[in-house]
């Protein structure tokens, strides 16, 4: 779908961007809701990991790689360290674990794509 920008320039959205955007939105909502509702079962973690892979593969354009890697790395570090601090508050600890299950694979995929892009030249 084409979107108009200022100055009459037309930007064509990537085909996978809609799927990636929905995966991102669904993943965040699921991570917060399922983390808040109770114990994270292996199937829930698997779903979040698959959504994270989809986000990493489809949602990040070349221009967004550096900001995503910076934000993703910070998010993973803060969620991991915050999980240790918030262990006395089980609901927050589960939410942080769910966020980690979503963002670790997404960040890894984007980082690997970036490294392969650099290796290509």
How far, in Å, CA of 47 to CA of 24, rounded? 12
Q: What does pTM read for this prediction? A: 0.79
pLDDT tens per residue across span 43-87: 999 999 999 998 898 877 788 889 889 998 999 999 888 888 888
Report yes or no: 19 and 54 within 8 Å, Cβ to Cβ: yes
Neighbouring-strand partners of residue 11: 3
For residue 44 the two structure tokens come to 């829930």
Residue 9 pLDDT more than 70? no
Q: Which band of pLDDT confidence, cut at 50, 70 and 90, is reported for residue 21?
A: confident
User: Domain ranges in the chain?
Assistant: 2-120
In terms of phi and psi (left: phi > 0; alpha: psi -120 to 50; beta: otherwise), the region of 4 is beta
What does the alpha-carbon distance between residue 60 and residue 54 come to, in Å, rounded to a whole number?
10
């Amino acid at each position: 779908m084409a979107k108009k920008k200022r100055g009459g320039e037309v930007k064509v959205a990537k085909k996978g961007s809609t799927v990636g955007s929905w995966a991102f939105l669904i993943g965040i909502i699921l991570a917060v809701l399922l983390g808040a509702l109770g114990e994270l079962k292996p199937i829930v973690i698997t779903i979040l990991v698959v959504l994270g892979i989809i986000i990493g593969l489809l949602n990040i354009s070349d221009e967004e790689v550096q900001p995503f890697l910076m934000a993703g790395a910070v998010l993973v570090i803060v969620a991991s360290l915050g999980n240790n601090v918030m262990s006395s508050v089980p609901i927050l600890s589960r939410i942080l674990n769910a966020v980690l299950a979503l963002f670790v694979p997404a960040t890894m995929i984007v980082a690997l794509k970036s490294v392969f892009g650099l290796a290509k030249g």
